[in-house]
């Protein structure tokens, strides 16, 4: 229990951590030619990629066109779209990748196949199918992620567990939340569907850094149950969650 309390103290002191999700990005750059093709916009795949991303809600530009000053001067405001092709004798297989300015994968779609014999039809079918996995993920632009190379945690005095007294206010679960995998953990959605919580992996099993847009804290598993714990006006709140992974 002591390590969870220490993690809470560290989290309350250190703010501005950086985690990449698609919600941190408004802009996406699409290449005019994918690396496995010999022609610009072959089979219309690049134009189709741009269209599908715009339908998702992103502002999309081709990467070799004149760009707005806002992103021309800072490519870290954008994600870059790419496709991975897997060679097959009778199938066309594509996977959608969205990367940040440092080449880190923010989103990876499902590997999708088409058995159509005509190349143009096969590539378009495989592209639409891998984009379908992006459409399964709720998107709402929340502001650019802060680019932090490293954060030095302040020194925290650790009080022995038998001397710690923390008043906890507990709440009952309000409904089942469904976990969707992200690049850095999970996002929890309700049946609306509406995103309720974003979870970021830590080095501790069954313990996540968590935020819901208003509070930041941790989600952890205790005695077989999940709890979202955070501080509100110096009071520790512990909300029980029903999570379906």
Closest to 187 (Cα-Cα) out of 243, 105, 109: 243
Percent of the chain topping pLDDT 90: 39
Q: Whole-angstrom Cα distance, residue 229 to residue 17?
A: 18
Q: pLDDT tens digits for 227-244? A: 999 988 888 999 999 999
7 CB neighbour count, 10 Å cutoff: 19
Q: Whole-angstrom Cα distance, residue 109 to residue 94?
A: 9
pLDDT at 47 over 90: yes
Structural tokens at position 28? 């996406």
- pLDDT (0 to 100) of residue 105: 92
pLDDT at 169 over 80: no
- pLDDT (0 to 100) of residue 13: 39
Please compute the mean of the pLDDT values over residues 19-31 and round it to a whole number. 86
Domain boundaries, the chain: 22-135, 164-245
Nearby residues of 152 by Cβ (< 8 Å), 6 or more positions away: none
pLDDT at 185 over 80: yes
Q: pLDDT tens digits for 98-125? A: 999 888 999 999 999 898 889 889 999 9
pTM of the entire structure?
A: 0.52
3-state secondary structure of 168: strand
- pLDDT (0 to 100) of residue 151: 42
Q: pLDDT tens digits for 63-79? A: 877 788 888 888 888 99
Closest to 198 (Cα-Cα) out of 65, 21, 46, 77: 21
3-state secondary structure of 239: strand
pLDDT at 91 over 90: no
Topology, domain 22-135: Rossmann fold (3.40.50)
Residue 62 β-bridge partners: 30
3-state secondary structure of 103: coil
Nearby residues of 181 by Cβ (< 8 Å), 6 or more positions away: none
């Amino acid at each position: 229990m002591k390590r969870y309390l220490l993690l809470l103290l560290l989290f309350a002191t250190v703010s501005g951590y950086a985690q990449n999700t698609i919600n941190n990005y408004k802009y996406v750059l699409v290449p005019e030619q994918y690396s496995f093709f010999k022609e610009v916009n072959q089979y219309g795949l690049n134009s189709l990629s741009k269209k599908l991303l715009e339908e998702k809600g992103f502002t999309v530009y081709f990467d070799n066109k004149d760009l707005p000053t806002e992103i021309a001067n800072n490519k870290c405001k954008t994600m870059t779209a790419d496709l991975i092709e897997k060679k097959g004798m009778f199938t066309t297989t594509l996977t959608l990748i969205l990367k940040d300015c440092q080449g880190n994968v923010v989103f990876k779609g499902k590997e999708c196949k088409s058995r159509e014999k005509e190349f143009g039809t096969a590539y378009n079918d495989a592209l639409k199918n891998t984009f379908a996995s992006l459409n399964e993920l709720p998107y709402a632009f929340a502001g650019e992620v802060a680019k932090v190379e490293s954060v030095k945690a302040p020194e925290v005095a650790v009080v022995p567990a038998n001397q710690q007294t923390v008043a906890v206010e507990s709440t009952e679960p309000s409904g089942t939340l469904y976990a969707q995998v992200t690049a850095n953990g999970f996002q929890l959605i309700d049946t609306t569907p509406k995103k309720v919580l974003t979870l970021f992996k830590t080095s501790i099993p069954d313990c996540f850094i968590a935020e819901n847009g208003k509070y930041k804290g941790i989600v952890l598993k205790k005695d077989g149950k999940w709890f979202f714990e955070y501080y509100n006006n110096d009071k520790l709140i512990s909300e029980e969650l029903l999570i379906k992974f």
